[in-house]
Structure 1
Amino acid sequence: MSDGVIIDETGTQRTLGYVLDVSGGDGRARCRLTLDERHTNRHGAFHGGLAAVMLDNAMGATGSLSVDDSGLHPMVTLSLTTQFLASAEPGDELVAEGWLTGGGYKTKFIDGRITRSDGTIIATGTGVFKPRSKR
C-alpha cells in the first residue's frame, strides 16, 4: 500500500486490474477501474458480475475504514444486493464507492454506487458487512 492506494493485494485485484483507494479521508473507499475487453460480457458491455465485485470491494473497504484507518481490516460480506442502471464499455473509467449508513460494532450497513467518468451511475448496491478477527 502506498499513500492509501492498495494495488495488487489480492488475486482478484491482480486479475481484474482495479485499484482500491482508501486515502480520501472521508471514510469512503473507492475502487477504480479502466474497462477493457477482459471486463465485458458477450455483448461487449461491462459484465454485471464485475460490477458486483467492484461494489463488494469498495463497500467492504469502507466498512474496514470504520474499524481501522488503514482500510485493511478484514470484513466478511453477509449480504450484497446490486441494481444495474446503465451500461459501460471498454475505455470507460469507473469508480465504485461505498459509504456507511448504519450498524454498530458487529455489523456495518453500507451503500455504494459505480459511476462512469461522465457522471452516469452504472450500478448501486446495499450490503451488510461484518468485521472479522485478524488472523
Structure 2
Amino acid sequence: MMTSETHDVGGREISDPGCQNMVGYETIIDASGICTVTLEVAARHLNRHGILHGGMVATVMDVACGNTAAQYFDPDGRAALVTVALNLSYIASTKIGRVAATARATGGGKSTAHVLGELHDADGRLLATATAIFRRINPR
C-alpha cells in the first residue's frame, strides 16, 4: 500500500515498501503534479560495464511517469493504474552518483494518461527520455 507524508521541499513523499526499498530511490510529487524520482547510483545499480544498468533507468522512469499519471487522475495521487507503454531513449551513460527522473502529464482522458519523462545526472546532463501511457484500473 502506498503512503504519503509531507517532505521538506514542499512536495509529498511517496513510500512503497516493495521495489522502492529494493532499488533505493526516493519519490517526491510537487504541488503541480510533477513527480521526481532520485536515485543515488551505487555499485549494485551498475551493469558489467560499470555504468547504470538500463533496467534501473527503466525502473526510475516508470516510477516517475506512473506517479505523475496517478496525479493526473487524482490530485491525491491515489489512482490505481498500470503501465500500457513505456518507450525509452537512452541518450548517455552514467556511473556512481545521483540521478533524477522527472515527468509531466501531457494529456489523456477518463482512463488513459500520456506522460513525458527525462532522466538527468547531478550535472544536469540528459541521460534518457521516456514517453509513457498509463491506464486507470479498478483494484481487485
Match of 1:98 among 103, 106, 120: 103
Q: Return the alpha-carbon distance in structure 1 between the equivalents of residues 5 and 33 of structure 2.
A: 17
Structural RMSD (CA): 1.2
Percent of aligned pairs with the same amino acid: 32
Q: Return the alpha-carbon distance in structure 1 between the equivalents of residues 112 and 31 of structure 2.
A: 22
1:26-105 aligned at under 5 Å gives the runs: 26-90=32-96, 92-105=97-110
Match of 1:15 among 22, 27, 31: 22
Match of 2:132 among 123, 127, 133: 127
Shift of 1:25: 1.1
Shift of 1:134: 3.8
| Greater strand share, structure number | 2
Unaligned runs of 5+ in 1: none
TM-score by length of 2: 0.89
- Secondary structure of the corresponding residue to residue 119 of structure 2: strand
Aligned length: 132
Match of 2:122 among 98, 106, 117: 117
Which AA in structure 2 matches 1:98? A
